[in-house]
Every structure is written in structure tokens, then in C-alpha cells.
Amino acid sequence: MQKLTPPDKYDEGIIRTETTKSGPSTSPPTSLDQPAHRDGVTTVEEIEEKHKSHFAYFKTRDFYLVLVLGQVLALCITGTNTFTSLLVGKGTSIPAFQTFFNYALLNIIYSSYTIYKYGFKKYGTLLLRDGWKYIILSFLDVEGNYFVVLAYRYTTILSAQLINFWAIVVVVVISFLFLRVRYHWAQIIGILVCCGGMGLLLASDHITHSNGGTAVNQLKGDLFMLLGSSCYGFDNVLEEFLVSKRPLYEVVGQIGFWGMIINGAQAGIFDRAAFRSATWDGQVGGYLLPLFSSFSITNGVVGRDSFTPIMFRMSSAAFFNISLLTGNFWGVAIGTKVFGLRIHYLYPIAFVLIMAGLIVYFTLTKSVLGDAKKPWLGRNQQLGVSGIGTARRKAENPEAIVNAHAGDSSGFGSEELRSLIGRGGSDGVDDDDDEENSWW
């Protein structure tokens, strides 16, 4: 059995192993020219050197996985927005209350598993030592959800879709300034192409004079949406940072734990009057149930795995947000049946343009790892956790890095893929629970 040495024992970016009670140590490759051995430890740099080529990431199945995953999440968020608009139409606007049970569900599932993994003593230490970091993350998440849902009380569904655009600006700027992310020119072009598609959607709305209904107070609703999208942007970047450093179950569990407390207090203070005056009938209940489901999927409750955090690990907060731009198209597509909207001819063109931007974002990158390699984790990702979707996990399973056109799996080993689709267990979620891994 091997375990990775803590960061201060790394020598020149090469991940080394040490002897444990379960077996002997294994010497790693000492040169980029040496092949990776199954019982050795391969560096991230070795993987990139071995598979370095034009369109390297475009040839992997990881690329197509994050592309599809982004659209699944866009549909979930669109579902959340649609049912929120339906609730407002019924006279039920309870922005804090309608997300409380989702945080409670996240807490029950993920915090329970965290306690199982850590034990009560280590879990208590986690709350005391690192709780403030997760409080910040949870506060941003709660307020982002709160102001976005509140905005639907005053603005329209199509105007509200602008959240995705402003969140992109926040994510790119914060990632550049604080996480040392340096975007390739092709990535910048991809983002701009996606924003161009967004512009076509807005132009279509202006031409057709269709905004999804009458706004009670357009300016107030848009300001709430702008504030909510800003919180989302900061939240996405911080969550990407944390899930690259710590196990998924810990991060999502802490979001649920602190989010439930913050959200519950907020609902008790601000939603009491709205709760009493809200309409409660079978139709409202029918709207709330899928609303909870869409929110839960987006924030990670599907079996034992998490979608959004995995998206952050495999790609980035920037790619996640430009993927959500297609939510405008999905929103109008759903709105044709629900709100009687009409799809203008520019909408399909805009959708294709956004998808093209997503492809351009990764097309010219020469790294087979794409955005899974995080600049703040060191050259060989030695400062990060080894878990599903991380570049470090791929370094420990180099045989899984192969081209998609060769007909083999890419990015995920067979064990990792089985855990992603629901096997679960300690070996299938995150293997690195070592407190020696300094992460802040």
C-alpha cells in the first residue's frame, strides 16, 4: 500500500512514495523520458508530455463528458427558473424557504458520510478549524439563490437569464486575479463567441418584444438578479478552489450544514409574511417538488455523487458558466409550452453559436488534462486532493489517459468511472483525507 508524501516532501515537482506498514515503497520515474509503471507514481508533467499534441483535450472523452454535463446542469437550472416563475404566477414567492429543504437534504446525506469517514472528533475539528471558510462559501451560495429567486418576484424569466452573462465576468476576473488562472487566446475567443450567442438571444427578445410576461418592477428585479449573479460568480470560484483541495463529500456536506443554518435564519426573518400570504394548493405542491429536484441535482444530490463539483474539477468555473448560457434557449423552448412563448429564428442560431464557443474554448489546448490541471495546486498538482475528475487522480492512473478515437476510456479509469455512475464507497469518492495536505 502506498501513500503520497505531504507537500513539503516533494522534490522538484516529482511525486514520490514512502514505505508504509502494508508494503514496500516504489521508486517513481526520474525523467520525463521514462515510461510510467503501474506500481509507480507518474507526474502530471509526464502525462502532459506524453500526450502533448494539437487538439489533445478535444480528442479525449473527458471533453465530451463535460460538454454534456454542462447541458444537463443548464437544463436543471432552467427547470428551477421555470418552476420559480410558475410559483410567482400563483402568488407564492418564498425565496429563502423554497431552498431550505435542499440544504437540509445536502446536509443529511453528505455530512453523515463525512462523519462516517472522519469520526466525530475529526469532524468537530473540521468545524472549528475550517468552518469559517465554509461559512463564507455557504453564505455566497445562499444569498446567490435568495436574490435570484427574489428577482423573479419583480422581473421576467427572460430578463433573469442574464444572470449567466454577468457571472462569467465575475468568474473570469476573480480567477485571473486570485487563482492565477491564465486563459489561452482560444479560451478567450470561446468565451466571446458564447457571449455573442447570448447577444443574439437578447436581440431576438428585443425584436419580438417577448420577455416572458409583465415585470412588476423591472429595475428592482434586475438589480436583485445582478446581485445574485455576483454572489454566484464568487461562489463558483471559491467552490472550484475548495473541491480541488478537499474531498467532495466534505465540501458539499459543509455547504449543506452551514447553508441550512444561514438559510433557515433568513427564511424565519424575511419570509414569514410571504409564507402566510402565499397560495397553498395541490398545483403549488406540484411546482415545489420538481423545483427541489432540479436544485438538488444542480448542487449535487444524485445517488452518491456530485455533478457541479465534479464539473469544477474536470473543467473550471468559467467553462461551467459559459455552459449555462444555453439555459436561455432551453428556457424559451420550455416556455413555448408553459408560458406560450414563441421561438424566434435567431434562437437556434444562438444556441449553435454558444455550443461552438464551448468547443472553441478547449479546441486548441495542447494539454490532455484541459482545465483539470489547476495552477494553484503546483506543477504536479501535489497541493490538491486525489479524487474523481482531478488531474492528480489521472496521474495516479496514467493508463486511463488515452484518446477517445482509439475506442478506449479517457480521463477516467474503470474503477473511477464505476464510482462516478453510482458505486460510491470510500475508494470511489476521494482517497485523500490526509490532514497534512495544507489547503488554504
The Cα–Cα gap between 219 and 203 comes to: 19
More confident residue, 167 or 404: 167
Question: What residues form DSSP beta bridges with 17?
Answer: 4
pLDDT (0 to 100) of residue 219: 80
pLDDT band with cut points at 50, 70 and 90 for residue 395: confident
Average pLDDT, rounded, for the chain: 74
What is the pLDDT at residue 258? 95
Do residues 309 and 255 touch, judged by C-beta distance below 8 A? Answer: no
Q: Does residue 6 have a pLDDT over 50?
A: no
Backbone CA torsion sign across 86, 90, 95, 99: negative
| Tens digit of each residue's pLDDT (9 = 90 or more) over 91-138 | 676 767 777 877 888 899 899 999 999 999 999 999 999 999 999 999
Helices (H), 209-306: 218-245, 248-270, 272-277, 282-299
- Distance between alpha carbon 114 and the CA centroid of its chain, in Å? 20
Q: Are 88 and 437 in contact (CB under 8 A)?
A: no
Rounding to the nearest 10 degrees, give the CA dihedral for residues 37, 42, 48, 50: -20
Nearest to 333 by CA among 347, 323, 321: 347
Q: Is the pLDDT of residue 43 over 60?
A: yes
Q: What local confidence, expressed as pLDDT, does residue 255 receive? A: 92
pLDDT tens per residue across span 372-387:
999 999 988 989 998 8
Question: At 17, which helix (H) or strand (E)?
Answer: strand 17-18
Q: Cβ distance 364 to 56 under 8 Å?
A: no
- Answer yes or no: is pLDDT of 3 > 70: no
329 has pLDDT over 50: yes
Packing angle, helices 307-314 and 218-245, rounded to 10: 70
> Residue range 134-154: average pLDDT?
87
Task: Give pLDDT tens digits for 278-296.
Answer: 666 666 666 666 555 555 5
Q: Which of helix, strand or coil describes residue 3? A: strand
Greater model confidence, 40 or 347: 347
Average confidence (pLDDT) over 28-40: 38
Q: Which pLDDT belongs to residue 217? A: 80
| pLDDT number for residue 404 | 42
Query: What is the three-class DSSP state of 4?
Result: strand
Predicted confidence (pLDDT) at residue 410 exceeds the cutoff of 70:
no
pLDDT of residue 157: 64
C-alpha dist (Å) from residue 227 to 2, 17, 144, 160, 294: 47, 47, 7, 12, 22
Amino acid at 135: I
pLDDT tier at 437, thresholds 50, 70, 90: very low
pLDDT at 339: 65
pLDDT (average), residues 31-49: 56
Which residues have CB under 8 Å from 236's CB, separation 6+?
167, 171, 312, 317, 320, 321
Spatial distance between the Cα atoms of 66 and 72, rounded to a whole number of angstroms: 10
Kindly tell me if the per-residue pLDDT of 246 is higher than 90.
Answer: yes
> pLDDT tens digits for 160-174?
666 667 889 999 999
- Residue with the bigger pLDDT between 407 and 401: it is 401
- Residue 217, sorted as left (phi over 0), alpha (psi -120 to 50) or beta, turns out to be beta
The pLDDT value recorded for residue 210 is 61
Determine what percent of the chain is predicted with pLDDT higher than 70. Answer: 66
- Type of residue found at 89: G
Go through 7-21 and write b for each residue having 16 or more CB atoms within 10 A of its CB, e for each that does not: eeebeeebbbbeeee
> Cα Rg for the chain, rounded, in angstroms?
22
Helix pair 61-89, 307-314: axis angle to 10 deg: 140
**How confident is residue 252, by pLDDT bands cut at 50, 70 and 90?**
very high
**Mean pLDDT value of segment 316-330:** 86
**pLDDT score at 215:** 66
Is a pLDDT exceeding 80 seen at residue 81? Answer: no
Grid cell, residue 302, equals 444524485
> What is the per-residue pLDDT for 20?
43
**What average pLDDT score do residues 389-394 get?**
88
